[in-house]
Amino acid sequence: MSKIGSILKIAIPLLLGIALVWYSLSQISLDELWLYIKNAKHNWIALGVFCGVLSHLSRAYRWLFMAEPLGYKPKFLNSAMAVFSAYLINFTIPRAGEVARGTILSNYEGLPVDKAFGTIVAERVADTIVLLAIIALALILEFDFIYSFFIEKFNGSTLLIGGLAGLSLVALLIFFIRKSTSKFAKKIRGFVSGLVEGAMSIFKMERKWAFIFHTIFIWSMYVLMFYITSLAVPELNGISFAAILIGFIMASFSIAATNGGIGSFPEAIVIAFGLFGLAADPSRAFGWIMWSSQTLMIIVLGGLSLIYLPIYNRKKRIASKEASL
């Protein structure tokens, strides 16, 4: 059964991605999509890719703060190449990149595998907290819009009943998770406990403020590259910050749905921008431009990283041996 489960974990996201690619391209012809790409302002696309590179380099540099308290001083270049390699590998098997990144850091920096994975998990805790903060910010800034949207779709009594039912369901779920001995409840409790513990550990770090700065910088670059790339599509000029924020959030979740967000990324943007009355074709074209440009960057830099990692570290070992003679 475990073998079947492993196969399904690989096959389902891949098949879903293929289906969404087919659906997306059935909604806009390749000729029309190519016209959007051809007429796009490529300097904005290049700048968006640059912001993406900066975010990944910042992620690689942030990891150094996690390794230092463990008694290791890894090379920044190894950390950077591990990050780009991990993103590339994620296109094959979802989340396999995190395992590969930990293995790379263990092989080339001597960090024990369990400790390497531990630092990556702690990083993910920080990223989850920031993403939740972005979602909370979107809800606060766009409360009137969200409220009006639901009022238009549902009447007041339906919203009230739905809200009370939702709160009751949440209360029951919390009670179940706290009291239940099931595997599901234990996993949820473990996740929440890890989230809190990871958040607290950040403030115990020697260079915590640098870590927090880079965490904020990474996600600022993510949002900025999303906004800057939208400027490449003239039909989306003047798009509101709210649409950018909601689109970014939905696109972020779409990446977890399929391998690297293939197929799901542009369709998530169509749904998000559609809430703000933006046309589907330019929204879908922007989604493909955004996804394709960032994916191409990962393929190039990730591929070069996988090739250069053994070469760089072989040279490093030779240099260290010569220095010791």
pLDDT above 50 (res 191): yes
For 104-120, the pLDDT digits (tens) are: 988 888 888 777 777 78
Collect all residues with Cβ–Cβ distance below 8 Å to 219 and sequence separation of at least 6: 55, 127, 130, 131, 134
- Residues 6+ positions from 45 with CB-CB distance below 8 Å: 229, 232, 289, 293
Question: pLDDT higher for 282 or 169?
Answer: 282
In the chain, the largest separation of any two C-alpha atoms, in whole Å, equals: 82
Res 72 pLDDT > 60: yes
The residue behind tokens 């950390």 is: 79
- Going by C-alpha positions, the residue among 286, 290, 280, 225 that lies closest to residue 255 is 290
What pLDDT does 162 receive? 60
Amino acid in the structure at residue 295: T
CB-CB contact of 149 with 246 (8 Å): no
User: Which residue matches tokens 């649409």?
Assistant: 243
Confidence band of 310 (pLDDT split at 50, 70, 90): very high
What gap in Å lies between CA 82 and CA 59, rounded to an integer?
11
Greater model confidence, 97 or 3:
97
pLDDT, greater one: 18 or 166:
18
